[in-house]
Amino acid sequence: MKTEDDMKAFKIIVITVFVGVVGFITYSLVKDSEQKYYATVSPERSSIEEKLYLSGFVYPGKEIEIKPQISGVVEAIHVSVGDHVQEGEPIASVSLVPNSSEVEQLTNSLSLAKIKLESAKLKYERQKQLYELKAVSLVDFEAAEQELLTAQENYTSAERQLALRQKGKNTTANIVRASTSGVVIDIPVKVGSSVVERSGYNPGTTVAVLAETDFYLFRANVPERNMGCLYTGMPVKLSLPALDSLRIDATIMTISAKGEMQSGAVKFPIEAIFTYNSKDHILRSGYSATGELLLRRAEGALLVPERCVYFHGDTSYVYVTDSLKHSAVDRIVRLGMSDGKRVQIIEGVAENDLIISNYHD
């Protein structure tokens, strides 16, 4: 029969065992929560490409500004934007606006030309009679005849200029014609707009802009850090958002030797040339485009995800697992090219290393 002391001893033993089990479980949970678990990846051998993407715009290879031969007011426009025109085809008509001071000046010029013509006629008749009487030489007679012809031409020209200003019409000069074949991409004037003829002192008013569509140009700016990889003749893949990301092959034609400061960085303008003959879509001047350039390519490169690489100043490193201590060890690496997701490791790790992809302190 159990005594009271035996019952107390049994209870103490049970309580002690229970507390010990609970303490052991709690200690295990705490130690397990402090332990770090790392996900690892192995480097892989594969090909990698480094590409440069440039935002730019597309323009026709040549844009020709059509200007009038005379100053005046636009009377009619014979074409619309998007029309194909041939060389010599009428673009617009310009009506001359008489200027009172100019008309007065031309009237005076006509009066002087008439006086000189009458004087030349009298001199010619006199020289003719004297020549028939053998009183003057043939040279004197021919000089009088030449003077008469010149006076007649000056009078006709002065008369024509005055009539042109007074009437404001001319069947040839007031018609603005296309100087080349192409597509009308802009008409900056309207009917009733005043225009000025082109001269050595004035560039003149642009009546229309024609584009020769034999070839097109893609223009963009390249950051200076990428200039060493570019060369004339380098292929460019173009995509145009306005045309459902149409893909076009282009070739770099010119690389500027002078950089321009843009948003705090030096950039160099480039031009890539391409042809486009499809009738499914109209390629308009000023369309935005993205150019894709393949800068470098490597085969059989040792690659790791970019998220595995850490930086401290100019030093790049990764964390690998120590097979003996089962802990994370940092490893300085030398990087190569990157495609935005993977980066090439030139030195620092081997294929059999396990690289930590979720390292944390």
Do 193 and 318 sit in the same domain of this protein? no
* Residue showing tokens 């993205």: 290
Sign of CA dihedral 69, 70, 75, 81: positive
- Give the residue with greater pLDDT, 97 vs 186: 186
pLDDT at 232: 93
Q: For 126-141, how does the pLDDT look when each residue is reduced to its tens digit (9 = 90+)?
A: 888 887 888 878 888 8
In this predicted structure, what is the pLDDT of residue 58? 93
Residue 30 pLDDT class (50, 70, 90 cuts) = very low
Residues 233, 331, single domain; the answer is yes
Nearest to 345 by CA among 356, 358, 336: 336
pLDDT of residue 347: 87
Helices 100-132 and 138-167, axial angle in degrees (round to 10): 160
CATH number at residue 197: 2.40.50.100
pLDDT higher than threshold 60 for residue 178:
yes
Alpha helices, DSSP H only, in 35-99? none
Find the CATH number of the domain harbouring 120: 1.10.287
Please state the rounded mean pLDDT for residues 306-332.
81
* Domain presence at residue 328: yes
CA–CA dist 220, 226 (Å, integer): 13
Residue 293 has pLDDT above 90, yes or no: yes
User: If pLDDT is split at 50, 70 and 90, which confidence band does 298 have?
Assistant: confident
In which domain, by residue range, is 202 found?
68-96+170-206
Q: Are residues 326 and 189 in the same domain?
A: no
User: Which of 206, 229, 253 is a domain's end point?
Assistant: 206
Instruction: Give yes or no: residues 275 and 155 share one domain.
Output: no
Residue 270: pLDDT band (50, 70, 90) is very high
CA dist 15 and 131 (Å) reads 159
Residue 238's pLDDT is what? 94
158, pLDDT greater than 70: yes
Q: Which of 276, 272, 268, 269 is nearest to 253 (CA)?
A: 272
Centre a 10 Å sphere on the Cβ of residue 332 and count the other Cβ atoms it contains. Answer: 12
* pLDDT over threshold 50, residue 80: yes
% of the chain exceeding 90 in pLDDT: 17
Do residues 234 and 319 both lie within one domain? Answer: yes
**Does 361 share its domain with 217?**
yes
For the cut 80, the answer to whether the pLDDT of residue 163 exceeds it is no
pLDDT given at position 237: 95
Between 285 and 98, residue with greater pLDDT: 285
- Residue 224 shares a structural domain with residue 342: yes
Same domain, yes or no, for 349 and 269?
Answer: yes
How many domains does the structure of the chain reveal?
3
Q: Can you give the CATH number for the domain in which 295 is found? A: 2.40.30.170
Give residue-wise pLDDT tens across range 7-19.
667 677 767 766 6
